[in-house]
Structure 1
Amino acid sequence: MRAPLLLLGLVGVLWFYATLPSIWLAAPVRDVTAQILSDDRFKSGTLSKLVAQIAVRPSLMVEPSDFVRGEALILLRTSEEMIGRKSPEDADRKVEAATDKVKYSLSVNPTDAFLWLMLYSTAISRDGLDFRNIKYLDQSYVIAPFEGWIVLRRNRVGLALFQSLSEATQQNVLTEFGAMINSGFIDDAAMNLEGVGWAERDRLLTTLERANEIPREAFARRLARDGVKAIVPGVEIDQRSWR
């Protein structure tokens, strides 16, 4: 009876030492992940210090899926910051390591729409516009076509290569644009329409037929202030009053 108890105790001790580092690192990783998702800026050295702490964790450390996701996003952010500041070889190695970590995180949680978007962004930063990588963006839309907090990054990306997307993904991009306005992201939607989405302006404006009246009028006023001549469905704006 004593031997099984000793074995159980040993397992308990090993489990404790395996989980302790993840508990210790969980809070800073979680906080930094939230800042990355909000596109916040970091003080110099903040991310590098955390990356160093993560790198020396025990090999047997238990890694919850949110920790794996956080590490992937942190490595992505640091690799992005190194582009242009390090040699191309060093930057490529960092991007490759970050990409591998993103793929590993997706193997743990394949329904993470944001990471699929980040995988696409990383792929084009490394390989250029390779149409084989569009599948990552497609997957992001398949998993979460109306994910509000992803919209601000993803819609701009989708519009930039709109003609290369499948018909289903094009429709998701258009619907996402209308959802941006309905959610009050007027300035971001205006920049998308006036910038990367200008070639598709007629189709984008058509999506506003189902938008609520107040944000639709706000969007029309914003376009008028910018001097953009565009017909927003159901809204009449005197262009002269905004010059």
Structure 2
Amino acid sequence: MRQIIAENLPSARRQCGAKTMRELLLLQLAIADESIRSSNLKQADTDIEAVASSSRALLLCAPSEGLGWLGSYWAAIRQEGFGPRTSAFLGLSYQLAPHEAWLQLIRAPLALRVYRALPPELKTNAVEDFADIFKARLFPSAAAFYQAAAAGARADLLDRTCAAPEADRRLFQRYVTDKGLQLRHPCYQNDERPAYLKD
């Protein structure tokens, strides 16, 4: 993937090809995410800076590109932690791409991890990302978001599912319990009997 980026990024920047730059930024995010999980901290720092650089380049060509602002948030939160600057990047991603499912799948877990630190508007946006994914019946992703969410976010997420059909809530609950979690919420029945007593 690094070779694909190296071969294509210079021309995409010269031509201001937003579509190509968006695709290359997604590759760069995947590379950086993988290097963060490895033990090579020097490579991780290099890859995080590459995400920041690619995001800036995309935004120079397409300032309304929600992925560019999300990439800036992703890199900045790793370089400097959560603060007003990183919050502003996340806010612009929400403002410019509020309901793009492919972007929500990347953004929601990032926002939900820092839920307590978010200002009220961004908390609402993060919960809305989750609600959109739930309504789209992408229950494995919704369950993963719930699992990754800060404890203080979980009740707010479940509140948004109460009006969903019972079949959808049961299916979501099964994905969550398969991850070893229980749903303690008025909209969900919690059957904690031993497995051998369940039908």
Q: Summarize deviations over 1:122-169 as a string: whole Å, max 9, x none.
A: 112222334421211111111222221222222111111112222121
Give the % identical residues: 23
Work out whether residues 182 and 212 of structure 1, in 8 Å CA contact, stay in contact via their aligned partners in 2: no
C-alpha displacement of 1:228: 0.7
2:127 is aligned with 1:154:
no
2:160 is aligned with 1:207:
yes
**TM value normalised by structure 1:** 0.65
Work out whether residues 32 and 44 of structure 2, in 8 Å CA contact, stay in contact via their aligned partners in 1: yes
- The code of the aligned residue for 1:190 comes to A
2:8 is aligned with 1:54:
yes
**Closer/same/farther in 2, CA of residues 129 and 222 from structure 1, 3 Å limit:** same
Kindly report structure 1 stretches of 4+ aligned residues shifted beyond 6 Å.
none
C-alpha displacement of 1:111: 2.3
Work out whether residues 205 and 232 of structure 1, in 8 Å CA contact, stay in contact via their aligned partners in 2: no
**TM value normalised by structure 2:** 0.77
Q: Which residue of the other structure, out of 96, 101, 106, is the alignment partner of 1:143? A: 96
**Paired residues for 1:115-126 under 5 Å:** 115-126=68-79
Q: Summarize deviations over 1:2-25 as a string: whole Å, max 9, x none.
A: xxxxxxxxxxxxxxxxxxxxxxxx
Q: C-alpha separation between the residues in 2 aligned to 1:155 and 1:161?
A: 10
Specify the SS of the correspondent of 1:142.
helix
Specify the SS of the correspondent of 1:240.
coil
- The code of the aligned residue for 2:167 comes to I
Q: Which residue of the other structure, out of 109, 114, 127, is the alignment partner of 2:80? A: 127
- The code of the aligned residue for 1:50 comes to I
The structure having more radius of gyration, on CA atoms, is 1
Work out whether residues 111 and 126 of structure 2, in 8 Å CA contact, stay in contact via their aligned partners in 1: yes
Specify the SS of the correspondent of 1:184.
coil
Work out whether residues 208 and 232 of structure 1, in 8 Å CA contact, stay in contact via their aligned partners in 2: no
Q: What's 1:228 paired with?
A: 182
**Closer/same/farther in 2, CA of residues 54 and 224 from structure 1, 3 Å limit:** closer
Q: 5+ residue gaps in structure 2?
A: none
Specify the SS of the correspondent of 1:208.
coil
2:154 is aligned with 1:198:
no
Specify the SS of the correspondent of 2:134.
helix
**Closer/same/farther in 2, CA of residues 63 and 183 from structure 1, 3 Å limit:** same
Q: Which has the higher contact order (CA 8 A, sep 6+)?
A: 2
**Closer/same/farther in 2, CA of residues 67 and 87 from structure 1, 3 Å limit:** same
Q: C-alpha separation between the residues in 1 aligned to 2:82 and 2:73?
A: 10
Q: 5+ residue gaps in structure 1?
A: 1-46
**Closer/same/farther in 2, CA of residues 57 and 113 from structure 1, 3 Å limit:** closer
C-alpha displacement of 1:121: 1.0
**Paired residues for 1:1-243 under 5 Å:** 47-54=1-8, 62-83=15-36, 84=38, 88=42, 91-223=44-176, 226=180, 228-231=182-185, 233=187, 235-236=188-189, 238-240=191-193
Q: CA RMSD in A?
A: 3.2
**Closer/same/farther in 2, CA of residues 232 and 98 from structure 1, 3 Å limit:** same
Q: C-alpha separation between the residues in 2 aligned to 1:169 and 1:58?
A: 32
Specify the SS of the correspondent of 1:209.
coil
For this pair of structures, how many residues does the alignment match? 194
